[in-house]
Amino acid sequence: MYTAIGYAAQSATTPLAPMKFERRSPRAEDVAIEILYCGVCHSDLHTARNEWKNTTYPVVPGHEIVGRVTKAGTGVKKYKVGDTVGVGCLVDSCRECASCKDGYEQYCDVGGMVFTYNSPDKHGPGPQTYGGYSTGIVVDERFVLKVSDKLDLKAVGPLLCAGITTYSPLRHWKVGKGQKVGIVGLGGLGHMGVKFSHAFGAHTVLFTTSPGKAEDAKRLGADDVVVSRDAAQMAKHANSFDFILNTVAAPHDLDAFTGLLKRDGTMCLVGVPEHPHPSPNVGNLIFRRRAIGGSLIGGLPETQEMLDFCAEHNIVSDVEMIRMDEINTAYHRMLKSDVKYRFVIDIQGSLK
Ligand SMILES: [Zn+2]
Ligand SMILES: [Zn+2]
C-alpha cells in the first residue's frame, strides 16, 4: 500500500480539505496511476453534499482522471510504465452479465458497477472507492483507457464523463450527415454535445435560455441557435428534428421539444432532475411515433472509441484550470454556471 493525498468532504456541510489515505499495492491486473489532471463534474458536488442521499464519508470525488502509469502488475497486458491513461466513472463491474459482456458495463444487469468514488471497494483498502481529487489511483487495467499524447491533456479529463455522456447517445441514435440535431443546454455536457454532433456532420442547433450564448455556441460548432423561451423561434422548427439531445438537469416542459421532432424522431435525456419533469403530453408522441429515451455515460469499449475519435479529430473540452485548493470556490461558481465549460484541477501542479 502507499499513501495518497486527496481532497475530501468529511460531511455534507464541510468544505473539501486535504486528507491522507491508503491506496492498495497493484495486484497482477492493476495499474498504478499518478494523476496529472482531474475534471470537476456536477456529480462531484452532488455527492460531496449528499444531495443524492447515498454518500459515505469521507468522500474523495473526481471521475475525469488523466494521468501516467507508474507501475503495472505482472499480468497487465495493455499498459506499461509511462503510458498516458484515463479513468472515468467506473472502476469495476460484475463482468459476467449480458450487459457487461457486451461492453455496456454502465448498465450492468445486476447493479455491479463500482463507481470511481463513493462505491464499496471490493479490493480495499477501502472501505469505499476514492476518486481523482488525489495524487494517485490504482485501477484494474480493464477499466483504464488509453489517452493520446496528441491531445491537450489538461482538457481531456472531461471527455471521460461529459464527453462520453453525449457521444454515446449521438452514436446510438446514429446521428450524422443529412440530419438535423438539437442540443438542449450549453453547459459541461451541452458544449461537448455540440462539438460531437458537428463532428459527426449533422446540422446542429443549440437550444438555450440565454441569448448571450449564441456566439459561443457557433464557435463550438452549432449551425443555428434557438432561444427556447421564445415561442415564435421554437415554432419555426416544429416537426423538423431527427434527434434532440437534452442535457438539462432542471425540471422543464419536455413537450416544447418533442413537438420539434419529425415523425420517428427521438429526444434523449441525459440529465437527471432533482424533481421530475412535468409529465409529457402523450398525444404529442403517438401522433408522430416520437420517442423519449435516456442514456447513461458509456461502457469501456465505447469510451475508448470516443477518445480515439477525439485524438483523430482534435476534440477536447473547453476548460478553466484551477488549483486543488480552489475547489470550494469552483463549486460555488459551478452552481451559478460560471464556467466555460468545465473546471479541471491541476493535480500534479497543486497537490503535494
Ligand atoms: Zn461526471
Ligand atoms: Zn454486469
The CATH number covering residue 131 comes to 3.90.180.10
Q: How confident is the model over 259-287, as a mean pLDDT?
A: 95
Whether 168 is covered by a domain: the verdict is yes
Same domain, 290 and 346: no
Q: Which residue has the higher pLDDT, 308 or 274?
A: 308
Backbone phi, then psi, for 159, in 5-degree steps?
A: -60, -30
Parallel, antiparallel or unpaired: strands 261-269 and 241-246: parallel
Q: Give the Å distance between the CA of 104 and the centre of ligand 2.
A: 8
Q: How confident is the model over 209-233, as a mean pLDDT?
A: 96
**Strand ranges (E), 209-326:** 224-227, 241-246, 261-269, 291-294, 319-322
- Would you state the pLDDT for residue 124? 80
Domain's final residue, options 279, 294, 309: 294
Whether 111 is covered by a domain: the verdict is yes
Q: Which residues surround ligand 1, an ion (CB under 5 A)?
A: 41, 43, 161
Q: Which ligand is nearest to the CA of 98?
A: 2
**Residues paired with 245 in a beta bridge:** 183, 268
Residue of 202, 162, 207, 211 whose CA lies nearest to 186: 207
Same domain, 25 and 168: no
Assess contact for 88 and 65: CB atoms under 8 A. Answer: yes
Whether the model clears a pTM of 0.95, i.e. scores above it, the answer is: yes
Whether 143 is covered by a domain: the verdict is yes
Local confidence band at 335 (pLDDT 50, 70, 90 cut-offs): very high
Q: Give the Å distance between the CA of 273 and the centre of ligand 2.
A: 26
Cα–Cα distance measured from residue 214 to residue 207, given in angstroms and rounded to the nearest whole number: 9
Three-class secondary structure of residue 302 per DSSP: helix
Whether 305 is covered by a domain: the verdict is no
Give the domain extent around 192: 163-294
Q: How confident is the model over 330-346, as a mean pLDDT?
A: 96
- What's the half-sphere exposure (Cβ side, CA atoms, 13 Å) at 63? 26
Mean pLDDT (the chain) is 97
Distances (CA, A) of 111 to 96, 114, 188: 12, 9, 27
- Would you state the pLDDT for residue 273? 87
Cα dihedral value 207, 211, 213, 218, nearest 10: 70
Same domain, 93 and 217: no
**Strand ranges (E), the chain:** 2-8, 17-23, 30-39, 65-72, 84-87, 90-92, 114-115, 136-140, 145-146, 180-184, 203-208, 224-227, 241-246, 261-269, 291-294, 319-322, 342-346
Same domain, 137 and 9: yes
- pLDDT tens-place string over residues 13-58: 999 999 999 999 999 999 999 999 999 999 999 999 999 999 999 9
Same domain, 89 and 172: no
Local confidence band at 1 (pLDDT 50, 70, 90 cut-offs): confident
Same domain, 7 and 143: yes
- Domain count of the fold of the chain: 2
Same domain, 203 and 104: no
- Would you state the pLDDT for residue 2? 86
Three-class secondary structure of residue 126 per DSSP: coil
Radius of gyration of the chain (CA): 20
Same domain, 185 and 217: yes
Same domain, 137 and 49: yes
Q: Give the Å distance between the CA of 107 and the centre of ligand 2.
A: 7
Cα–Cα distance measured from residue 289 to residue 266, given in angstroms and rounded to the nearest whole number: 9
Is the per-residue pLDDT at 326 higher than 90? yes
